[in-house]
């Protein structure tokens, strides 16, 4: 939709519903964020006019200056149509309606929602909402009506988030921020009365700064499901679309009706359609995080499900093998010849205590150099499609530089590599060494395996359609 680009990067905004008496109202919170935190020229709109927060307020959008590019509406539902009419008459093309009281409340709200959609269409307005918390773009735009000190702000990055639930979106931002996973934008679409998740998939699909699109969806209105998967298919060879679908159980299905008034649909049918059209379905929030992180790195397509695993702990190798089996990933046994080649790379004093069947347990005596040399040979094996590196930095021969050193070995090969490093502050240098050199790190063994699982799902689809 033509107004989305302007909506996500406006230079001038207006907030309708800024109170002259309650500085903590949603409209006032939004106004302060836009005006003082984002540094945007922002006009507060209130029927009383006057000065608000030291800024000239206008009695209506009609009376405000003509340079407005985005209007955020935070007034009772019954007043939204008249505001939209003013917006349309002024020629403004982008609107976010955070107000609730529409289709999620029943027949009266449905009628009101239909009215604002008709007005948006009449005036060619791109409208997000209603019943949403708005849009967040790092370093540029924040229309969330939640106080800044209560909401985490992830760094700028390459993941675009689109959610039918504002609360779910806020929790993901907390997690992304704590894991240093950067986002390009976060969009709460609420009831999605006019602008749908599909519109944002199409928009972010053409944005070179976005590597992966993450969607939380509770359901689709009639015909919207097909439009969504077809939009995802069109960009599947360029970037993945990851979906977590709510309302899968019967009880969850009922809950969606009172939340966003969406139709959850049949779980089996939806999952089959996602797979057919190249959409990567996450089954829970752990997979959401794993998939978002690994795809943000734009990893190489896996040629198959065969994983080579390096560890300095036999127990961790066993756990990784079990996890891989759960996700239909394979750890093929290395032949005697392969094992000999790998063993020869080890420091002579430790060659006979290490195991190279796969997982390759280099033991706690291994050094950075052992890890580098064995990985180099393992990645060269034809039967290895991807590598899982279990890094336990307590081993005395492992230094804080091991992440960067091992990552440089990986750059020689067109193979997917992920690592596990305990998420502890003292290992931060190791984690950064991996990730700054293109290797995503999971903070549990399961998460690292889930990253490979997500890559395998995507790679299966890309191989099926002949993508390179």
Please give the average per-residue pLDDT across 174-192, as a whole number.
Answer: 96
Please give the average per-residue pLDDT across 348-355, as a whole number.
Answer: 95
pLDDT at 261: 42
How many Å apart are CA 194 and CA 385, to the nearest integer? Answer: 44
Please give the average per-residue pLDDT across 106-127, as a whole number.
Answer: 96
For the stretch 364-375, pLDDT in tens is 999 999 999 999
Please give the average per-residue pLDDT across 185-200, as a whole number.
Answer: 96
pLDDT at 266: 73
Please give the average per-residue pLDDT across 427-440, as a whole number.
Answer: 96
Q: Are 294 and 287 in contact (CB under 8 A)?
A: no
Inform me whether the pLDDT recorded for 265 exceeds 80. Answer: no
How many Å apart are CA 185 and CA 141, to the nearest integer? Answer: 9
In the chain, where the domains are located: 1-131, 152-298, 307-465
Between the alpha carbon of residue 137 and those of residues 62, 141, 207, the distances in Å are 27, 5, 14
How many Å apart are CA 462 and CA 457, to the nearest integer? Answer: 9
Please give the average per-residue pLDDT across 272-281, as a whole number.
Answer: 95
Please give the average per-residue pLDDT across 438-465, as a whole number.
Answer: 96
Inform me whether the pLDDT recorded for 248 exceeds 70. Answer: no
pLDDT band at 255 (very low <50, low <70, confident <90, very high): very low
pLDDT at 13: 98
Beta bridge partners of 126: 94
Q: Are 219 and 247 in contact (CB under 8 A)?
A: yes
3 or 249: which leads in pLDDT? 3
Pick from 36, 40, 43: nearest CA to 62 = 43
Architecture of domain 1-131: 3-Layer(aba) Sandwich (3.40)
Residues 274-293: b if buried by 16+ CB within 10 A, e if exposed: beebbbbbbeeeebbbbbbb
In percent, the amount of the chain with pLDDT more than 90 equals: 89
- In this structure, whether the domain defined by 152-298 belongs to CATH 3.40.50.970 is answered with no
pLDDT at 376: 98
For the stretch 141-172, pLDDT in tens is 999 999 888 888 899 999 999 999 999 999 99
Pick from 123, 88, 96, 86: nearest CA to 191 = 96
Please give the average per-residue pLDDT across 379-400, as a whole number.
Answer: 94
Pick from 416, 446, 242: nearest CA to 325 = 446
pLDDT at 3: 84
Q: Are 54 and 25 in contact (CB under 8 A)?
A: no
Cβ-in-10-Å burial (0-12, 13-18, 19+) of 340 comes to exposed
The average confidence (pLDDT) of the chain is 93
pLDDT at 393: 85
Beta bridge partners of 60: none
In percent, the amount of the chain with pLDDT more than 70 equals: 95
Place of tokens 């209105």: 221
Please give the average per-residue pLDDT across 206-228, as a whole number.
Answer: 94
Where does 307-465 sit in CATH, by number?
A: 3.40.50.261
pLDDT at 1: 61
């Amino acid at each position: 939709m033509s107004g989305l680009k302007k909506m996500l990067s406006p230079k001038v905004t207006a907030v309708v519903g800024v109170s002259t008496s309650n500085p903590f109202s949603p409209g006032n919170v939004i106004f302060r964020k836009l005006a003082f935190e984002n540094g945007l020229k922002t006009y507060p709109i209130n029927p009383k006019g006057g000065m608000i927060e030291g800024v000239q307020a206008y009695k209506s959008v009609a009376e405000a200056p003509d340079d407005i590019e985005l209007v955020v509406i935070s007034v009772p539902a019954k007043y939204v149509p008249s505001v939209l009419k003013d917006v349309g008459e002024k020629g403004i093309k982008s609107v976010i309606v955070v107000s609730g009281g529409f289709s999620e409340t029943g027949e009266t709200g449905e009628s009101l929602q239909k009215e604002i959609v008709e007005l948006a269409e009449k005036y060619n307005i791109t409208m997000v909402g209603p019943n949403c918390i708005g849009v967040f773009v790092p370093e540029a735009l924040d229309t969330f009506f939640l106080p800044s000190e209560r909401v985490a702000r992830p760094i700028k990055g390459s993941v675009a988030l689109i959610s039918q639930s504002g609360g779910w979106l806020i929790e993901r931002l907390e997690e992304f921020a704590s894991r240093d996973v950067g986002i390009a934008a976060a969009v709460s679409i609420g009831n999605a009365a006019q602008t749908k998740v599909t519109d944002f998939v199409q928009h972010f699909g053409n944005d070179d700064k976005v590597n992966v699109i993450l969607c939380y969806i509770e359901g689709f209105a009639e015909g919207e499901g097909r439009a969504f998967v077809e939009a995802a298919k069109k960009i599947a060879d360029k970037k993945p679309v990851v979906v977590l679908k709510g309302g899968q159980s019967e009880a969850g299905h009922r809950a969606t009706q009172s939340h966003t008034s969406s139709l959850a649909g049949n779980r089996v049918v939806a999952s089959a359609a996602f797979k057919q059209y190249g959409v990567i379905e996450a089954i829970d929030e752990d997979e959401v995080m794993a998939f978002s992180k690994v795809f943000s790195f734009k990893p190489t397509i896996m040629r198959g499900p065969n994983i080579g695993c390096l560890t300095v702990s036999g127990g961790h190798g066993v756990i990784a093998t079990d996890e891989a089996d759960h996700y239909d990933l394979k750890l093929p046994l290395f032949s005697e010849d392969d094992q000999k080649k790998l063993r020869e790379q080890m420091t002579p004093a430790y060659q006979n205590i290490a195991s190279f069947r796969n997982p390759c347990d280099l033991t706690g005596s291994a050094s950075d150099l052992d890890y580098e040399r064995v990985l180099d040979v393992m990645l060269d094996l034809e039967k290895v499609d991807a590598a899982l590196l279990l890094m336990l930095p307590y081993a005395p021969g492992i230094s804080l530089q091991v992440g960067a050193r091992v990552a440089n070995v990986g750059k020689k090969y067109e193979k997917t590599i992920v690592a596990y490093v305990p998420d502890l502050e003292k290992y931060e240098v190791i984690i950064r060494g991996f990730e700054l050199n293109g290797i995503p790190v999971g903070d549990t063994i399961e998460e690292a395996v889930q990253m490979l699982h997500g890559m395998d799902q995507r790679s299966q689809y890309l191989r099926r359609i002949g993508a390179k």
